Amino acid sequence: MLYVIVLMTMLFSAIQAIRTAHLINSALWLACVSALLATVLYGVGAHEIAVIELSVGAGLVTVLFVFAIGLAGDEPMPTKTVIPRLFAFALVFTFTLLLILFTLPLTGSASASSQISLTETFWQVRSADSLAQIVLIFTSVLTVLGLLTERRVKSKRVFTPVQEREVKKELSL
Amino acid sequence: MTLEPVALVGVLGLLSVGLYGLLIVRNLLKVVVALQIMSKAAVLALVLAGSASGQMNLGQSLAITVIVVDTITAVIALALAVKVRQRCATLDVRALSTLRG
């Protein structure tokens, strides 16, 4: 029952993150989604992922959003949407219906449980993933540096005639 | 009552809300928020799949990968949005799509 309430709150937070007008509120609702998702993940049994989701999703990403909103500014948008709301709703409904039809009922062999720990799985079985993640992190750091670093333009200082005379006077003194 | 069916409803709900957001929002930063919601649904789905198939560690390992890639995507998208705002003075996707030159 507790997890049903958590899940409903999570979905409500997600809807609010999309609906709210101000970007900063949107980022805060998204942080709520992350925190509640971490609770659900803990309940499912994925304790490590819950911790990572809480620290990265609710912490790091929220800080990044607030930083980006501070740089870009909160801009009021016109209420008219890109596509009509009814059409978007129909598309989403169709998508969800197809997803349910293709995925349910869940048929898995739950008996095939492996004895390998998460550390071994992550660093040995899925070592290519780990390497790809390291490469991606470095690439993203370089990309962000390239995007946000301002190029310094060497500007030649131009003096007005009055300033030029003053500078000459100072030099002669 | 087990948690898996409830969490599956959460996956479907988050995916739907994220997709709806992607379709209707006009603000570039809100597009990133919608993408984040969809990727959270993917994380939950991977963990659920791992739990259902009895390979929880594999599901968790893949979920870690999704979280890392999702964070990197958010970082680059936010940096691009900031740059777009500085260059074009707007974050409206419709206004950006009509820019020429």
Tell which residue, A49, A50, A35, A100, has the closest CA to residue B9.
A100
Mutate which: B11, B57, B83, vs A, most A CBs within 10 A: B57
Flag whether pLDDT at B101 surpasses 60.
no
Over residues A93-108, the pLDDT tens digits come to 998 888 888 877 766 5
Closest CA of chain B from A171, distance in Å: 41
Q: For A59-63, A103-107, B64-68, which range has the lowest pLDDT when averaged over its residues?
A: A103-107
Reduced to 3 states (helix: H, G, I; strand: E, B; else coil), residue A157 is coil
Judged against a pLDDT cut of 80, whether residue A156 lies above it is answered with: no
CB B54 within 8 A of CB A114: yes
C-alpha span between A110 and A126 (Å, rounded): 21
Nearest chain A CA: its distance from B100 CA (Å) = 19
- Give A108-151 pLDDT, tens digit per residue: 555 555 567 878 777 877 788 888 888 888 888 888 888 878 76
Mean pLDDT for the stretch of residues A50-69:
91
B29 conformational bin, left if phi > 0, alpha if psi -120 to 50, beta if neither: alpha
Residue B34 CA to chain centroid, in angstroms? 6
User: Angle at Cα A49 formed by Cα A44 and Cα A55, nearest 5°?
Assistant: 125
- Which CATH number belongs to the domain containing residue A122 in this structure? 1.20.120
Q: How far is B34 from B40, CA to CA, in rounded Å? A: 10
Q: Which residues contact A144 (CB under 8 A, 6 or more apart)?
A: B75, B76, B79
Candidate from B4, B16, B36 with C-beta closest to A96: B16
Whether this model's ipTM surpasses 0.95 comes out as no
Give the A window 148-167 contacts with B, CB below 8 Å. 148
A171 close to B (CB below 8 A): no
Place of tokens 């801009």: A75
Least CB–CB distance from A68: residue in B29, B57, B92: B29
- If one counts every other C-beta atom within 10 angstroms of the C-beta of residue B100, the result is 3
Pairwise CA distance, residues A159 & A36, whole Å: 61
Q: Does residue A157 carry a pLDDT above 70?
A: no
CA distance A173 to chain B (A): 46
Q: Please name the amino acid found at residue B47.
A: V
Distance between start and end Cα atoms, chain B: 59
Interface A–B counts its CB contacts (< 8 A) at: 235
Q: Which domain holds residue A59?
A: 2-172
What is the distance in angstroms between the CA of the first residue and the CA of the last residue of chain A?
A: 86
The number of folded domains in chain A is 1
